Every structure is written in structure tokens, then in C-alpha cells.
Structure 1
Amino acid sequence: MRSNTGGPASVDALDVDIPAPGGGRLRAERTGSGSPVVLLHGAGMDARLWDTVVPELARHHDVIRYDARGLGRSSLPDRPFDDVEDLSAVLDHFGLDRAALVGLSMGGETALDFTLAHPGRVGALALVGASVSGHGWPADPQSSAYATARRQRDAGALAALELSIWAALGRTAPGGELVEAMVADNAERRIASEPFLAHFPDRAAESRLGEIAVPVLVVHGDQDHPEIAAIAERLVADLPDAHGVTVPEADHYLPLRSPERLVELLLAHLARPRRAGE
């Protein structure tokens, strides 16, 4: 896994290709030592999202990050795939029965769905600008423009929409150049991959949040999309053991905009004493 400077993210990082369920491969990196933490990025991004978070986090934890199917350096799918099954394959490959999950946007949705499907394999959750399955997003011109770009397979339009909607702080903010690079690098891959992402109408985590027993940190930036703030409020209200934090001067790409603050929050959350049996 390469950093935004073009060098390795950590001197002891192990870069591997993991066989993906049904064929293909997932590109992953493992670094650090301690209790395991898996980092899940959002749609149209890749694992470089965590470049400025991993070095400090890996001083305290065994950190795994990977490119989701069809994005970054993972292979493009040629048949339906399930992000929850892919996450399970990553844990199995590294021999992890249980781990903490940190997911941003789509990665947060995957983390929640995985926790409901495999509650014994998750020790803690951190949801950063997370989406959640079963949530009804409002119809608006932005959604219509996204649908048009996908239908027309217009990678340029999709990338421009991604930046205008989700990267509100722009290129001059911390991580701005890397944000633009990730979006540009993944736009065509996203168009090619998303039609193969399996949909499960009965997978609706929003109505099942009360079943999640692990401690959850819910984080979002104050410059993120308003619907992300609404989802964060719902998560904090409905999850039995949740704590919410709003990070100032951060948009949807929060791990690149405010890495020091996010690491501080994650380390405190992951160090929280667990009750017996957790």
C-alpha cells in the first residue's frame, strides 16, 4: 500500500493480495501490533484514505486496511459480489476471529451489516461519516445527476460530482491533492464495479441498530453532507452504546482533513475497558 508521498506507509507494512469470494483479489496492507483494527474506506475512494491515520494508529494496534472490490488496486469484479463477504475473507486470511472495525461512508455501512451478520467477530465499531443500509436518501438534483453519470458511464462527470458534493473544503484543505487523485483514479473503476455489487433488500441495519451490543464511536465532520449528519444523529440515538463527536473543519474525507483528531478519538475509543464477556 503506498502513501500519498509515493513511499511506503510504514516500514513494517505487509502488502498482500487476498483471494476474493467468487474470484478476483483484494489488495490489503497489515502493519503494527496490538489488538486488531480493520479500516474500511468509502465508495469512489481506496485505502489511501487512511494514509495519515495508519502510522500513529499502528503504534498501538495491528492495523489492516484494504481496497474494496473494484477500487484502488483490488481487481474489478466480473460477477456479483458482497462487501460483507469480502470483509469476512479479509479477517479469515489474516487469521482474525475478532477485530474492531472502523468504516467511513460505504465502509461504515459494511461494518454495520457485518456486525449484524457476525456479532461475535466484532469487538468495537467506529463509524466515520457513515451511511447505513435501509436508510432512505432524499431525492434531489444531486442524486439525479449521479444516476445520469452512471447510466452514461461518464467518469469525468461522476468525479466532478464526487468532489463538489463530498469534498466541500476543496483542494487547498489538508489532503486535498490526495482526495482529487483518489476520486480521479477510481471514477472509471467505480462505474465498472458498482453494477456487480449485490443488493439485499432485507439487509436494513437502520431498523436493527438496537441489536448491536458493541461500543460504537460515531464521528462526522461539520462540513459533511447534511444527510450524513442526520444519519449520525440517528445512529447515536438508536445504538445501545454509542458516543457521537462532530469534528470541526472536516468534510466527508475526514481522515485526511483532521487525522490527528480522528486518531485521538479512535485510540481513546479502542482503549475503552470492555465489560466481562465483550
Structure 2
Amino acid sequence: MTTDPHEVLVPVADGGLLWAGRGGAGSPVVLLHGAGMDSRLWDAVVPGLARHHDVIRYDARGLGRSTPPNEPFGDVEDLRAVLDHFGVRRASLVGLSMGGETALDFALAHPERVAALALVGASVSGHDWPESPELAAYSAARRARDTAALAELELTICAAMGRTAPGGHLVETMVAANAERRVVSEQHCVLTTGRDAAPHLGEITAPTLVVHGRHDHREIAVISGRLATGIPGARGETIADADHYLPLRAPERLTELLLSHLP
């Protein structure tokens, strides 16, 4: 695992602690991972980014090395706590999946604190996912707290390129390690911005890059198109050799895109 020169535990509401790492120099960039993952998602991207930016990444509440929640919390508030802890007034946000959703919600709630957005295989609050057998099974596993089924479905639906693709071992390790933790975390997570992002994409003022992998779930491609057309001036990119775990599948290409976009 890539080590961060500065690793801390950031205090958040209800006495929780978020593991966070910081390294590099330049304008600040915060990396936000998806559900069922942790900050190791960015291992292959951090070295290249840190040569040009002050890079902060953290494990979302209850995932990775962060403590589980004991009461309702909001991902937007947790992100603000991380920025405040490091004394960062304004940063670029790079978010994948759930992390992209958090970045969008934060940009709507605190536009003055966001220098740029990069949304990677992002979800978006307020988007209606169509019904399908695979997603119905996924939801049933979450309700039943069947963590083994949840992990297997996560890999089947989101890691289409399989274990032999770049980053395959780490993908499986992260999913297995976080399957039970994510169930606990999601039960306590609440939407605290007071709005869904989907109807308000036109209000995003930060320069935005939208990226998704060609082998990602088909609905992620739909969402990426919606983001690229709905956010003023947004730029869309598709990476051929990547699925939902894009930062591990195609780190060099993603790093190249980020360095060309981030201020």
C-alpha cells in the first residue's frame, strides 16, 4: 500500500474518527472513495498526483481504518470536518461512486470551498436507478445484512474485468474487508444537505471532469452522460480498459486526466 507521509485520525460528530492521509505539495486535492471500498482505491494514483498537489485522502465513516458510526451522520459534514482539520479552505474534489455523490452534494452546499470537481464513475443523489434482477438482489442482500452475498454481488456487478485485471487482488481484498462495515455505516448515513443533486446540476460552478470506464455498470454510463451534459462546461471522458474500480484499473490514464484538469 502507498503510504502517506502524514497520517492522522480526524475527529467527527458523535466521537467518531476518520483515518486520513496527506502528502505532496501544491494546490489541495481530496480523494473520496466509493461504498464498500476504502482509501486504498487511490494507491496507484496518489504518487503521480502528489508530485503536483497537496493530496488528502480518507476512509469514509465506518470503512477502512475509520471508526463505525453510533448515530446518524452525513458524508458532507464528514468531508467538511476533514478540510477543517487540515486547515484547507478550498480544495479540488475527486470522487468515485459514493465519493462522487458526496463531492457533488458538498459542491452544492459549499460552492465557495470547491476549486474543481472530478467525478469518476460517480453516483448522484436524486437519480432513479431502473429496476433489474441484479440490483434487486443487491438491495435484498443489504437489507438482510448478508455480507457474503453483498461482497459477491459487488464484484459481479462492479468489477466486471475480474481478478486478473490490474488491481484485481486489492479490489477483492477491499470488498471483503468492508462488506460488513458498509452495512453498519449505511444504516446510519443520512442525507443532510436538504436537497438532491440531480435536479440542481446546472447550479454547479466548479470546473468539472466526468470520467467512467467502458466496462462499468451500464447505469453509471447513463449518470456520467447526465453529469457531463447537465453541469455547465463539464468535460466527459470514457476510459476503455476500466470498470467501476477505475483508479486501480487505469491509474496512469486517470492521473493524466486529473493533472490536466485540476488547478
TM-score range, shorter chain: over 0.9
Q: Which runs of 4+ in 1 moved over 6 A?
A: none
Size of the aligned set, in residue pairs, is: 263
Equivalent residue, structure 2, for 1:57: 49
Q: Which residue among 79, 93, 96 is the counterpart of 1:104?
A: 96
2:154 matches 1:154:
no
| TM-aligned CA deviation for residue 201 of structure 1 | 9.0
RMSD: 1.1
| TM-aligned CA deviation for residue 200 of structure 1 | 5.2
Equivalent residue, structure 2, for 1:245: 237
Contact map agreement 1:218 1:236 (CA 8 A) in 2:
yes
Equivalent residue, structure 2, for 1:276: none
2:143 matches 1:145:
no
Contact map agreement 2:76 2:192 (CA 8 A) in 1:
no
Q: How does 1:1-278 map to 2 (within 5 A)?
A: 3=1, 8-10=2-4, 13-199=5-191, 202-271=194-263
CA–CA distance in structure 1, aligned partners of residues 121 and 143 of structure 2? 26
| TM-aligned CA deviation for residue 143 of structure 1 | 2.1
Equivalent residue of 1:22, what SS? Answer: helix
- Cα deviation code 1:256-277 (max 9, x no counterpart): 0000000000000014xxxxxx
CA–CA distance in structure 2, aligned partners of residues 200 and 230 of structure 1? 25
- Cα deviation code 1:75-98 (max 9, x no counterpart): 000100100000000000000110
- Cα deviation code 1:175-232 (max 9, x no counterpart): 0000000000000101121110113594211100111111100000000001000011
CA–CA distance in structure 1, aligned partners of residues 75 and 194 of structure 2? 15
Contact map agreement 1:9 1:54 (CA 8 A) in 2:
no
Contact map agreement 2:76 2:193 (CA 8 A) in 1:
no
Q: Which runs of 5+ in 1 are unaligned?
A: 272-278
Give the TM-score of the pair, scaled to structure 1.
Answer: 0.93
CA–CA distance in structure 2, aligned partners of residues 64 and 120 of structure 1? 19
Equivalent residue of 1:79, what SS? Answer: coil
Equivalent residue, structure 2, for 1:274: none
| TM-aligned CA deviation for residue 45 of structure 1 | 0.2
Equivalent residue of 2:164, what SS? Answer: coil
CA–CA distance in structure 1, aligned partners of residues 18 and 24 of structure 2? 20
Kindly indicate whether structure 1 or structure 2 has the higher relative contact order, using CA contacts under 8 Å at least 6 residues apart. 2
Q: Which runs of 5+ in 2 are unaligned?
A: none
CA–CA distance in structure 2, aligned partners of residues 92 and 21 of structure 1? 13
Equivalent residue of 1:85, what SS? Answer: helix
Question: Aligned AA for 1:66?
Answer: Y
Identical amino acids, percent of aligned pairs: 67
